[in-house]
């Protein structure tokens, strides 16, 4: 598959948010955000997309962190979170669930054999890249800086998601503390690399996609634009926050997971957020029960800077509208 065949990619969004079926039926490349799924759940999700007529799709996983939190980091982060649990009226648990095993997820992805495997938060070991290649799976890594894009190109990936700082959700670069760059700057720094570039971050309509294509991208990857689709698993409070969002509604935080992420500003982005934060993904485990049980102020309401331009349309209709806008903009 060539990325030039797709004028649009529906971004992977872990947590039951992706809408790969509808995107695929409408001719875009849909993505299954499988970062929080077990191996069995990944197989079931792939079967579900295929049964619904989305033949070509991507599966996306998180490359594991290089190290766990130390005992001291874990204790300090837990102590700093105690007032947050209290304020939210959620009892602090004494057990925090582990995240799914990456090796098991990867094996399930191989078996599911998607058209594309995309990953974020790191580089993929060569043996894993070879296993994908042997099955004809196209490889896509994520970069937030030119040096990361060059490293991925050197690894031999087929496409690079260039994620600008406007993007909703986690910054997908290799360095968990890495600064973001505006998408336009990132594209202009990387357009000579030679590997097809997939632009992401703040793109909400077809004119945005046409603009990044004119700046050297093969295609655009949109996440926030799909969060208000009725098919997306976006919870009601989050949906409402997106509908109410103004142009400055989003901010970044690393207090939710230990990695920088952008969402609708709430308690995680102001003085109520903990200042001692465990490294990713342990902070994610520590805050998970709070985010699940609390009200909207303590949920992670991931969204990009374009949140205020979102449209509450069914996925297939949204894809068609974006494609028309792109063509009208000359691409």
Ligand X SMILES: Cc1cc2nc3c(=O)[nH]c(=O)nc-3n(C[C@H](O)[C@H](O)[C@H](O)COP(=O)(O)O)c2cc1C
The tokens describing 134, both together, are 């042997």
Our finding on whether 46 is near ligand X (CB under 6 A) is: no
The tokens describing 236, both together, are 């009601």
Interacting residue with ligand X among 21, 165, 166, 282 (CB under 6 A)? 166
Residue with tokens 């669930």: 97
Binding mask 51-70 for ligand X (x = CB under 6 A): ---------x----------
Euclidean distance between CA atoms 141 and 123, whole angstroms:
7
Interacting residue with ligand X among 138, 142, 219, 253 (CB under 6 A)? 142
Our finding on whether 114 is near ligand X (CB under 6 A) is: no
Our finding on whether 163 is near ligand X (CB under 6 A) is: yes
54 CB contacts (<8 Å, ≥6 apart)? 20, 21, 22, 23, 24, 25, 30
Interacting residue with ligand X among 302, 319, 323, 331 (CB under 6 A)? 302
Burial class (CB in 10 A: 0-12, 13-18, 19+), 282: buried
Sheet with 197-200, edge to edge strand ranges: 8-10, 219-222, 197-200, 159-163, 138-143, 116-120, 57-62, 30-33
258 CB contacts (<8 Å, ≥6 apart)? 176, 277, 278, 279, 280, 281, 282, 283, 284
Residue with tokens 């689709």: 229
Interacting residue with ligand X among 202, 206, 258, 310 (CB under 6 A)? 202
Our finding on whether 304 is near ligand X (CB under 6 A) is: yes
Our finding on whether 203 is near ligand X (CB under 6 A) is: yes
Minimum CB distance to ligand X smaller for 223 or for 289: 223
Minimum CB distance to ligand X smaller for 138 or for 224: 224
Q: How far is the CB of 78 from ligand X (least distance, A)?
A: 25
Number of residues that bind ligand X (CB under 6 A): 29
Which residues contact ligand X (rule: CB under 6 A)?
Answer: 11-14, 17, 33, 35, 60, 120, 142, 163, 166-169, 172, 200-203, 221-225, 302-304, 306
């Amino acid at each position: 598959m060539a990325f030039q065949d797709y004028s649009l990619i529906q971004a992977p969004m872990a947590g039951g948010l992706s809408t790969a079926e509808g995107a695929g039926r409408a001719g875009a490349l849909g993505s299954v955000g499988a970062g929080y799924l077990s191996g069995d759940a990944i197989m079931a999700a792939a079967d579900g997309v295929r049964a619904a007529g989305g033949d070509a799709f991507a599966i996306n996983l998180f490359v594991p962190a290089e190290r766990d939190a130390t005992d001291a980091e874990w204790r300090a982060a837990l102590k700093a979170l105690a007032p947050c649990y209290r304020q939210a009226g959620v009892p602090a648990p004494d057990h925090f669930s582990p995240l799914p095993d990456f090796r098991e997820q990867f094996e399930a992805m191989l078996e599911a054999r998607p058209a594309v495997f995309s990953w974020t938060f790191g580089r993929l070991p060569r043996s894993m890249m070879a296993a994908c290649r042997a099955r004809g799976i196209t490889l896509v890594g994520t970069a937030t800086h030119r040096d990361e894009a060059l490293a991925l190109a050197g690894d031999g990936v087929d496409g690079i998601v260039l994620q600008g700082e406007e993007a909703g959700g986690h910054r997908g670069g290799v360095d968990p503390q890495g600064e973001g760059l505006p998408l336009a700057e990132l594209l202009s720094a990387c357009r000579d690399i030679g590997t097809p570039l997939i632009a992401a971050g703040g793109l909400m309509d077809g004119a945005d996609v046409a603009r990044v294509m004119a700046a050297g991208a093969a295609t655009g990857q949109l996440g926030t634009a799909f969060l208000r689709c009725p098919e997306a698993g976006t919870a009601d409070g989050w949906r409402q926050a997106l509908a109410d969002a103004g142009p400055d509604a989003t901010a970044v935080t690393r207090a939710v997971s230990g990695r920088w992420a952008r969402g609708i500003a709430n308690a995680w982005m102001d003085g109520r957020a903990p200042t001692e934060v465990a490294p990713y993904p342990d902070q994610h485990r520590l805050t998970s029960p709070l985010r699940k049980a609390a009200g909207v102020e303590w949920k992670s309401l991931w969204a990009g800077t374009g949140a205020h331009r979102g449209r509450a349309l069914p996925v297939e209709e949204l894809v068609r509208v974006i494609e028309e806008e792109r063509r009208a903009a000359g691409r």
